[in-house]
Amino acid sequence: MWLFAQTPYNVEKYTAYELRQLDAKNIYPVAGGVYFKGNKADMMYINYNIRTANRILWIIEKFPWEDEKDLYEKVNNISWERLFAPTKSMVLYQNTDTKYIRDSRMLSLISKDAICDRFRIKRGFRPNISKNNPDIRIFITINKGICYIALDTSGNSLNFRGYRKRSIEAPLRETLAASLILSSGWNKKISFIDPMCGSGTIPIEAALFWSNTPPQILRKQYSFFNFSNFDKDLWDDIRKHSIMKIGNKGDLKIYAGDISDEYIKISKENAEMIGVSDMIHWHCAPFEKFIPPVKRGLIIMNIPYNKRLRISEKGKFYKMIKKSLVTNYSGYKAYILSGDVDSIKFIGLKPSSEQKFFNGPIEVKFIKYILKDDKKGMGEREI
């Protein structure tokens, strides 16, 4: 079966890397996601273990786009009654542009009619439409002249891990946090520090990665539970096999801090929810007083910006970041994520690289700085 891992913007290569680690076959990244091949067990296993994808789609049909009449016929010819029962509720989503059809909503309306008409003929009644927590989600997409019909196997987006008991304004998406960790190349051996942890998403995702904990270990529901071919025994074996892999024999080197006592409390609660709080060393301190415990390591921090925290004195704030990095983090690789893409330059350090992502609707930059040792002990360290 052909599957498609939907990803956030610019995350495709990290999802492709994950899929290789999860033994997926025929991996082919494109804008917006990654195609791959697998069987039913692969689909369930990847849903449970992938960290960077938003959802896994099962492509059940594809064909060259012709017109609305042809769409109805092609969708109506699919054996929907073998895929799920008419007692299940469903919803349809569409994605295309006006080059192929004037109103993209017609993709869903026509496909809904084709599916319901087939169920009436084959089973005597049709599924109900439900936009709130449907059993079955169907995606109709036209891309480069090809129409794809897909079943969502995941249900709610996989960025919802289930550990966020409490949050803060503009929290970081879990899938993006996992992508940043993979992007950094962290090898689980050097120290990992997030000194502005907010509600704890980055250190929690680092702890899940370090310990090989499945990111969906708390999830209770998937769309594939509602498929006619769902095999509960197979699913139980997959979960058991994945949980048996939890553990890491290396030294624990994850540190998280924040200036706010309340944020540290929220972070700990979230980490406890998924069982990784004891894997993280917690500290309440402002960044300029957060002294790294070791001489070498990796720092990732999502610095405050206007949509997360109001900062009236930006110049002073960014000057503090620069001074703290240069003074306290020589020998580190530092990554800064910021949604204030126009102001990040005021840090005044030369980036080694930068990438653009989106945290929900917010454009963010992920900037790497290599902080070299000041061998001469004079002035600022070379960046």
Q: What is the pLDDT of residues 109-163, one digit of tens each?
A: 999 999 999 999 999 999 999 988 999 999 999 988 999 999 999 999 999 999 9
What's the CATH code of the domain at 118? Answer: 3.30.2130.30
Give the percent of the chain with pLDDT over 90: 78
Q: Is residue 378, in this structure, part of any structural domain at all?
A: no
Print the domain residue range for 195.
174-215+246-370
Judge if 308 and 357 occupy the same domain.
yes
Q: Average pLDDT for residues 254-271, to the nearest whole number?
A: 95
| Number of Cβ atoms within 10 Å of the Cβ of 238 | 22
Judge if 127 and 189 occupy the same domain.
no
What's the CATH code of the domain at 345? Answer: 3.40.50.150
pLDDT for res 381? 30
pLDDT for res 380? 31
Judge if 129 and 196 occupy the same domain.
no
Give the percent of the chain with pLDDT over 70: 95
Judge if 292 and 189 occupy the same domain.
yes
Judge if 106 and 181 occupy the same domain.
no
Q: Is residue 230, in this structure, part of any structural domain at all?
A: no
Q: Is residue 223, in this structure, part of any structural domain at all?
A: no
The larger pLDDT score, comparing residue 169 to residue 311, is at 169
Band of residue 101 on the pLDDT scale cut at 50, 70, 90? confident
pLDDT for res 308? 46
Judge if 296 and 148 occupy the same domain.
no
pLDDT surpasses 70 at 265: yes
Judge if 197 and 115 occupy the same domain.
no
pTM above 0.85, yes or no: yes
Judge if 61 and 148 occupy the same domain.
yes
Structural domain total, the chain: 2
Q: Average pLDDT for residues 178-198, to the nearest whole number?
A: 95
